Amino acid sequence: MKLKQIEESLSSKGFKITKQRKQILDFILKTKGHFEIEDIVYKMKKKNKNVSRATIYRTIGLLKELGFVEEVIKYDNKTIYEIAGKGHHDHLICIKCGKIIEFEDKNIEKLQNKICKKYNFKPIYHRLEIFGICEECQKGEK
């Protein structure tokens, strides 16, 4: 996804492209993985960007509503987001360091479909999150 594409979409829907929104969009697009809203707040303050916490929360809410970002994980009173359109995948989350590992597994997908069929259940969406301890943190425990 490109900044221009998002800006054009926002404009076509009647939303203004403010300096603050551009800064938030730039941060999100440069983020290679997952992010929390408070990550953006911290980075903006660190770079002396004049963007309020409320503006950041409203902008992420708008981007979520328009389908540009997705809420992918909720845990430990945190909400983790990522850029939309990456395709379906699931997550392993380390409860010690917060590391998030993305994975795909066709067998898991087949099993979920089989279970839905068995119960005559029409799935709309799903997400799988496995919480545990990553390899690096396990090494630190020894």
What whole-number distance in Å separates Cα of residue 22 and Cα of residue 87? 25
**Based on the domain organization, do 79 and 94 belong to the same domain?**
no
83/30 Cα distance (integer angstroms): 10
Run of H or E residues at 132: strand 129-132
Is 119 a residue whose pLDDT tops 90? yes
* Structural domain count of the chain: 2
Annotated binding site for Fe cation: 88, 90, 109, 126
Q: Do 77 and 98 have their domain in common?
A: no
Residues comprising the binding site for Zn(2+)? 94, 97, 134, 137
pTM of the model: 0.77
- DSSP structural state of residue 141: H
Clarify whether residues 67 and 11 are in a common domain.
yes
pLDDT band at 142 (very low <50, low <70, confident <90, very high): low
Retrieve residue 46's tokens: 């660190």
Residue 11's CATH number: 1.10.10.10
Q: For residue 59, give its domain range.
A: 3-83
